[in-house]
């Protein structure tokens, strides 16, 4: 069965931030993350000898104070990945989309403003 896209994106974000030691999302009650997925898009283009595969993942993220509802940050993040290949391999779209997702999450995890909010809200 297919995993829903929001769950895939959510897990990728949580994993990245926990890996970097910024936050334990699952235990945090101070901040609330919500967002809109703008794209989770895979495309392929046939060229003369090759196939080009393209993946895009983008979200609008809202970070708010869970207690007051005050919005602390609104940001858009996007990951894009493409590669050329001689043909379509099994599992290609998953690999391309994972790479695009990884790039988006890396963009988030290097956003100093976002990291600062997490640090300010960290549970002692």
Percent residues over pLDDT 70 in the chain: 87
Total-model pTM? 0.83
Are residues 4 and 97 in contact, defined by beta-carbon separation less than 8 angstroms?
A: no
User: Quick one: pLDDT at residue 58?
Assistant: 97
Burial of 10 (0-12, 13-18, 19+ CB in 10 A): middle
Per-residue pLDDT of the chain in tens (124 residues, 90 and over written 9): 677 888 999 889 888 888 876 655 556 678 888 899 999 999 999 888 888 999 999 999 999 988 899 999 999 999 999 998 876 677 888 899 999 999 999 999 899 998 888 777 755 4
Angle at 14 between CA 8 and CA 19, to 5 degrees: 125
Of the candidates 86, 85, 98, 1, the residue with the CA atom closest to the CA atom of residue 42: 98
């Amino acid at each position: 069965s297919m995993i829903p896209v929001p769950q895939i994106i959510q897990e990728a974000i949580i994993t990245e931030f926990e890996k970097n030691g910024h936050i334990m999302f699952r235990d945090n009650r101070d901040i609330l993350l919500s967002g809109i997925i703008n794209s989770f898009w895979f495309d392929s283009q046939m060229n003369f000898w090759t196939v080009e595969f393209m993946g895009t993942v983008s979200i609008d993220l809202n970070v708010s104070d869970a207690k007051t509802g005050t919005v602390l940050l609104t940001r858009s993040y996007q990951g894009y990945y493409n590669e050329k290949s001689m043909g379509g391999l099994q599992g290609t779209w998953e690999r391309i989309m994972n790479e695009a997702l990884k790039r988006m999450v890396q963009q988030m995890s290097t956003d100093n403003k976002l990291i600062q909010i997490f640090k300010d809200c960290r549970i002692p």
